[in-house]
Structure 1
C-alpha cells in the first residue's frame, strides 16, 4: 500500500511538473531582442555635439555612445546600433549648448535584421524631453528648442524599438527550479492526495451532456483566463453557441428574469455604437469588437445552477493562485540570472508588465480574495494567502489597487465578526484612521513618504493623473454631446498638455474611466455607465456589490475599459456575480 502511494505520488508529481513547465513556456515566455539600428538626420543653427545614451532593462548602468560634431546649418546622418538582449529601458538623444538655438531631427528610421522601417508618425518617436526643452512637430521634422543653458535631451519611445526587434523564447523552468518544485509536489500528493481527490471530485457536473459541456467550457475558460486572456474570444463564441443549443433543447431550464438587470449594459453598448455611427464612424469597428462583450456575455450564464457557478469560480481562484505562484517563481529565477544589482521590485514590475497591466492583474487577485472572504469564515489559511497576495501586489507596484484592496479587506473582515464585536472592531479601525490622519497631517516626512509611494511616477515626477484629468475635462467642455471619439483621446490629451509637460508625448489615456467615457462619447454614455454600476447595488446583490465597489473606486484612477482586457474582465465577472447572487 505504501509502495503504491509512493509510485502514485511520483507519477502525479512528474505530470503536474510537466504541466507547470508547459504553462511557463507558453504563457510566461521570455522576450529577447535583436540588435536594432537607429538612424536620423540632425541639423542645427549652432555648433553642438550630439550623442546617444542607452540604459538596458534590468541594469543600473548608463552607456554614453560616441558623439558627433554637428556644425551650424550642416546636416549629419547619425546612426547607432543598439544591442540589448533584455530590451531597452531608455534611449536618449543628447546635444550640448541647447540654449543657443534649434535642433531639427528628420528621416528617423529603425533597421532590424537588414530591414529598414521608416518612422512615419514622429509623435511615436518621442517619449519625453528634458525640462528645459520644448518639442514640436513641423511636417516631417521634430523641432527642439531650449529655454535654459545646458544639455538638452529627448528620450526615444523604446516601445518602437522593442516592437520591431523582440523575439519570443518558449522555455521551461530552469533545472534547479524543477528540482525544488518536485519534492513540494511529491509531499502534497503523498500526504494530501485524498483531500485533493475529494476537492477535484466536487467539480463533477451532473445532468444532460450539453449542460455538462457548458460547465466544462467555463472551467477551461476560467482556468486559462489569467494565462491567456485572448482565448476569451473563442470561449465566448463556443459558450454562446452551446447556450443557444441548450435553449433549443431545454427551454424550461432557462429563467430570463435576471436579463432585465442587464438592460442598462445592453443599452450602453447600443449607445456607444449609435454615437460612433453618427459622429465617429471610423471608431465603430474597434468599439463594436471590444464592447460586444457587453451585449453577449449576459446571456452566457442563463440556465447555469448556482452551485456550478461556484465551482467555476473556484477553478478561477485556483488558476489565479497558480499564475501568481508561477509568475513569482519566474521573476525570482530570472532575477537570479542577472549580472547587475538591479532592484528586485523594479525587476518584478517590469517582468509582470510584459504579461498583464499590473493594475488589472491586481484586480484579478483581489476579486478572488474578496469572494473567498465574503462567502466563507475568516481562517488562518486565508490570512496567510492574503498576506502573500498583498506582498505580490506590492512587488508589482500596483499601488492604488493595493490601497483599495486593504480597505475593502478590512471592511469585509468586519462583516465576518459577530454583531457584538462589529462595533468594537469598527471603532478600533476608526481610531486607527484618526491617529493615522493626525500623524500624516502633522509630519512632513510622512506626507512626503506617502506622496512618493502613491503620487510619484517611475521618473520621480508628480503623478500624471491630475494633468490628464484637467486636460480631459477641458476637452469635454468643448465636445459635451458626442465627445471626440475613442481613437482620438490620447492625441487630444497630448495636444492639450502644456509644452513643458513631462508626459506630453507619452500619449496616455485619461487614467479615469468616467472621464475617458466623457471624452470618447459625451455626456450620455457616462450616465448610462453609472446606471450599469449601481443597478446591482440598488438591487442588493451582495457579491456583485463587492465586485462593483472595487471597480467604482479603481476606475477613478485607471481607464479599465480603454483596453480590451479590461472590457473582458469587467463584463465577464459583472455578469457572473449577478447570476451568482440568486
Structure 2
C-alpha cells in the first residue's frame, strides 16, 4: 500500500517522467529498427559444359535448415543453355547454389548470371563476381567467355552463386513497428522503480537555462552526435559540417584564427595521411574516383576543426551521452531480437539467429567497437562501483562472443586486464591470479569460437582464418609490386582476386584485405601505411591511459578487418581519435 500511496502523491512532473522514456524508446525503435518482407524472385544462368551434365538449383532460407531444390535438367556438351528457376519464397534467402553432376572429370562454364524481381533482369557484368565459392577439389578460371569451373573428379559438384545480398536488397521492403507491449510494460516498471528510488532528483534542470551561447550550442551538437551514433552513423556527415561551421564562426568572432592554424599543426599526421591518399589516388585512379576519395576521407581534415573550440571538460561530459546512447541502443536491439525470435521460432543455433538480426543494422565487429569504447570510458572506475560496472563487462563480452566478433572479444579481454592493472596495481598476488584467469577464459573461448567455424560440408566456405591468411598472402604479393602509390582506392579487391591461388575458396569473392594495414599499403602505398601506424604510435608514446587503450585496441582490430573501408568504421575511428587526442594526449 505504501508504494501505491507514494505514486498517488506524485506531481505532474513525475508522470511526465514516467511516460517520457516510453515515448522516446518507441520513437527510436520505430525510426531505426525494422523488419523485412520479401517478394518472389527468378534467377537465370547461361551455361555450357564439355560433356553431358545434369544440373539443378538449390536455395536455403535464413533461419531454416531446410534446402529447396529445382527439377534436374540434362544439358548436352558444347551448347549454350539458359537455365531459369523461380524461387517461390517470401523469406530472406541465405544462399543460392548450382549443383552439376558428370560421370567423369569435366568442366562447367557460367557465361552469365541474372535475376529479376519485377520483370527487369539484372545481369552481373563482371565474370569474377558471378560465383562466391566452389566445392573442394574444383578450380576456377576467369576468361572472356565467363567463369570456368574445372572438376578433378566425377560425381556431384557444387557452385555457390554470388549475388544473394544484392538479390535480397532488391526483393525486400521495410516494415516498421513500435515496441511490443511486453517491452513497454518492462520499461514502465523500470521507470516506476527508478522514480521510487530517486524521489527528490531534479529532472528538468535544463529548463532553467536562460541563455544559449556558441559554446553551449557546440556541446548540444556533440551530445546529440554521440547519442545518435549507434542508431544512425551517417548523420555524422551533417553534424560534422554543422560543428565545423559553428567552430569556425566562434574562432573568427573571438579573433582567434591562430587557434585554427594550431589545429592543423597539432594534427599534422591526419592531414599528411589525407594528402598522401589524394596524391596516390591522382596517380592510380580516375578523376571521379579521386573525387570520391577526397569526400569519403574528408573526416581526416574536417573533424580536427570540429573539435577545435570545445574544451576537454565539456567533451568528457559529452561522453556520458554516448554511454547512454549505446546502452539504449543495445536494449532496443535486445527487444528486437527477442520479439523476432518469438515470432519466427527459427531452426538452428540461437547465436546464429542473433548474429543475423544484428547484421541487418550493423557489421558485428563495428557494433562491438561501441562497447569497447565504453570499456575505455570506464577504465579507471572500480568494478565494485555499482551493479552496472560489475554486470556490464560479462554481458558485453558475451554479446561479442555470441555474434562471433572474435577480435573485439579478445580486445575486450585485454582492456579488462588493463583495467585490473590500474585498479589492483598494489595487490600483486591477487592481480596475477585475476590476469591468469582472464587470459585462460579468453584463450578457451577463442579456441571454441574458431572451432565452431571449422565444420566443413559440401557448401563450406572454409574457415575465416583460412580465408584471411590467403587474402593476406595475396595482398602482400601485390604490395611488393605496387609499394609506392598502391594499386588504387577501388582496385584493391580486383588486385587481391588476381593474386589469389586458383584453388582458393575466396578466388572470386569481392573481398578486401581484411587487414587495415595491408589494405592501406595495397591501395595507397607504403607511405600511407607508415602514416597510419604513426597515428597510433603517437597515442602510445604521448597518450594517457585512455588514448593508449584506444590505440592498442585499433592496432589489434586493424589486423583482422579493414575498418576504414566502410563509412561506419571511418566515422568511429576518426571521431574518437580526435576525441582522445583532445582529452588525453600531450601536445608537446
Provide the TM-score with structure 2 as the length reference. 0.90
Corresponding residue number in structure 2 for 1:403? 410
- Which range is displaced more, 7-16 or 85-94? 7-16
For 1:5, what is the secondary structure of its paired residue? Answer: coil
Q: CA deviation at 1:527?
A: 0.9
Could you list the per-position Cα deviations for residues 228-274 of structure 1 after superposition, in whole angstroms to 9, with x for gaps in the alignment? Answer: 01100000111101011111222459856565331111111111111
Describe how 1:345-424 pairs up with structure 2 within 5 A.
Answer: 345-374=351-380, 378-381=384-387, 382-417=389-424, 419-421=425-427, 423-424=428-429
Corresponding residue number in structure 1 for 2:227? 223
Aligned match for 1:313, one of 315, 319, 337? 319
CA RMSD of aligned residues (A): 2.8
Q: Is the 8 A contact 2:303 2:575 kept in 1?
A: yes
Describe how 1:76-475 pairs up with structure 2 within 5 A.
Answer: 76-97=81-102, 99-157=104-162, 158-192=164-198, 194-195=200-201, 197=202, 201=205, 209-251=213-255, 260-282=265-287, 283-374=289-380, 378-381=384-387, 382-417=389-424, 419-421=425-427, 423-429=428-434, 432=437, 449=448, 451-452=450-451, 459=461, 461=463, 463=465, 464-475=467-478
Q: Is the 8 A contact 2:53 2:102 kept in 1?
A: yes
For 1:115, what is the secondary structure of its paired residue? Answer: coil
Could you list the per-position Cα deviations for residues 14-50 of structure 1 after superposition, in whole angstroms to 9, with x for gaps in the alignment? Answer: 3322321221222122222221110122322322221
Question: Are 1:31 and 2:36 counterparts?
Answer: yes
For 2:121, what is the secondary structure of its paired residue? Answer: strand
Distance of 1:413 and 1:203 partners within structure 2: 40
Distance of 2:227 and 2:455 partners within structure 1: 35
Q: Is the 8 A contact 1:297 1:571 kept in 2?
A: yes
Change (3 A) 1:69 1:295: same
Distance of 1:558 and 1:380 partners within structure 2: 35
Q: Is the 8 A contact 1:44 1:72 kept in 2?
A: yes
Change (3 A) 1:102 1:434: closer
Q: Is the 8 A contact 1:269 1:291 kept in 2?
A: yes
Q: Is the 8 A contact 1:541 1:578 kept in 2?
A: no
Q: CA deviation at 1:489?
A: 0.8
Change (3 A) 1:366 1:378: farther
Structure 2: runs of 5+ lacking an equivalent: 1-5
Q: CA deviation at 1:455?
A: 7.9
Distance of 2:367 and 2:77 partners within structure 1: 51
Q: CA deviation at 1:143?
A: 2.0
For 1:151, what is the secondary structure of its paired residue? Answer: strand
Q: CA deviation at 1:210?
A: 1.6
Q: Is the 8 A contact 1:374 1:543 kept in 2?
A: no
Distance of 1:433 and 1:245 partners within structure 2: 50
- Which range is displaced more, 246-255 or 341-350? 246-255
Q: CA deviation at 1:223?
A: 1.0
Corresponding residue number in structure 2 for 1:482? 485
For 2:148, what is the secondary structure of its paired residue? Answer: strand
Distance of 1:235 and 1:183 partners within structure 2: 35
Distance of 1:454 and 1:100 partners within structure 2: 30
For 2:491, what is the secondary structure of its paired residue? Answer: helix
Distance of 1:434 and 1:212 partners within structure 2: 44
Q: Is the 8 A contact 1:99 1:145 kept in 2?
A: no
Q: CA deviation at 1:323?
A: 0.7
Aligned match for 1:514, one of 513, 517, 521? 517
Q: CA deviation at 1:5?
A: 2.0
Question: Are 1:565 and 2:563 counterparts?
Answer: no
Equivalent residues, number = 572
Change (3 A) 1:99 1:290: farther
Q: Is the 8 A contact 2:151 2:157 kept in 1?
A: yes
Q: Is the 8 A contact 1:98 1:152 kept in 2?
A: no
Distance of 1:484 and 1:242 partners within structure 2: 38
- Which range is displaced more, 316-325 or 141-150? 141-150
Q: Is the 8 A contact 1:58 1:86 kept in 2?
A: no
Change (3 A) 1:3 1:426: closer
Could you list the per-position Cα deviations for residues 133-163 of structure 1 after superposition, in whole angstroms to 9, with x for gaps in the alignment? Answer: 2223322423222012221111112113113
- Which range is displaced more, 316-325 or 60-69? 60-69
Could you list the per-position Cα deviations for residues 137-196 of structure 1 after superposition, in whole angstroms to 9, with x for gaps in the alignment? Answer: 32242322201222111111211311321212222223333333332333334443644x
Distance of 2:418 and 2:90 partners within structure 1: 46
For 2:231, what is the secondary structure of its paired residue? Answer: coil
Distance of 2:584 and 2:80 partners within structure 1: 69
Corresponding residue number in structure 1 for 2:3? none
Change (3 A) 1:320 1:431: closer
Corresponding residue number in structure 1 for 2:496? 493
